[in-house]
Structure 1
Amino acid sequence: MNIIFVCTGNTCRSPLAESLAKARIENHSFESRGISAFEGAPISVHSAQLLQQHHLPPAGHARLFTEQDAQADLILTMSESHKYFIQRHFQAANVYTLAEYASHSARSIADPYGGSLADYEQTFTEIRNHIDNLAEKLNDF
């Protein structure tokens, strides 16, 4: 299954989700994108620091969500607004928020952009919990 994680700039939340998923879930392909990404931008310093600290695979550079990405088997967004944007602009059928799909929660994952390392750690922990739930769900496939 090809799964794409989506946030705003593809520098904070979605790269964390991608790296966590790659480290914890086998037999599936994971990528990340942003709906307003500056193509080629590096991930945030705090995100990179957390990936290194937790011995997770490094994330690539920011990539913009495209029409081709809308064909993924599953698109998991960090917020309702990302989900609605993709549904409205790309008519993607298999799009959910990460929290909704993995944890049956309506809560969006807060954007730590511009925040402290502690803000990023809180976001990281929330994403990790959802990825753990996602791993259990995908193992049922």
Structure 2
Amino acid sequence: MAVKRVLLVCTGNTCRSPMAEALLAAKETGIEVKSAGTQALAASPATPHARIVVREHGATLDEHHAERLTGSLLEWADHVWAMTQAQALQMEQQYPEHKNKIMTLATAGGAHEDITDPVGGDLDEYRRTAEQIKQMLERIE
């Protein structure tokens, strides 16, 4: 799969999709990457645990500010990878013109599982989610 521009999508754009964005960008693959949330509150920072876990992987979320999913972000992307099947279906229904580029991160990585939402969990829960994201990203290349 030729990947040039990837949009990673979760619900709030403060945990999963920003972690996936930072981890993918840190791989320096030449892929342009952005993230957004279906229900994001604009300008919200990444959660403290997400920032810590991403830093442990050599990346940063210190400058991250949540962004709500828009049609123009979907237009920009070659591939749109949602963290859950429900999010992918919601985007396909809301933006049917982009259906052909929307799938879950797990599906892109050849698996069939939702990325676990660590929101409200402890640091270890965030670490498990980051590992799950990393495994999917490694399968894509």
TM-score by length of 1: 0.91
**Alpha-carbon separation, structure 2, partners of 1:89 and 1:32:** 17
Q: State how 1:109-124 maps to structure 2 within 5 Å.
A: 109-124=115-130
The corresponding residue for 2:94 is 89
1:25: Cα distance to partner? 4.1
How far residue 76 of structure 1 moved from its aligned partner, in angstroms, is 0.3
**AA partner of residue 108 (structure 2):** Y
For 1:25 and 1:55, the matched residues in 2 are separated by 12
Return the alpha-carbon distance in structure 2 between the equivalents of residues 111 and 51 of structure 1.
15
From 85, 102, 106, give the equivalent of 1:99.
Answer: 106
Q: Which residue of 2 aligns with 1:6?
A: 9
After the TM superposition, list the runs of 4 or more consecutive aligned residues in structure 1 that deviate by more than 2 angstroms: none
| 1:64 and 2:64 are equivalent in the alignment | no
1:66-123 CA deviation, whole Å, 9 max, x = no partner?
0111211100010001100110001112001000011x21210110000111111110
- Could you tell me whether the CA contact under 8 Å between 2:23 and 2:57 is conserved in 1? no
The one-letter amino acid paired with 2:106 is A
C-alpha contact 2:21 2:35 (8 A) present in aligned 1: yes
TM-score, scaled to structure 2: 0.91
Q: For residue 139 of structure 2, what is the aligned residue in structure 1?
A: 133
Find the residue that maps to 1:40 and give its secondary structure: coil
Q: Which runs of 5+ in 1 are unaligned?
A: 137-141
Identity level (%): 29
Q: Please tell me the root mean square deviation across aligned C-alpha atoms, in Å.
A: 1.1
CA distance in 1, matches of 2:86, 2:9: 11
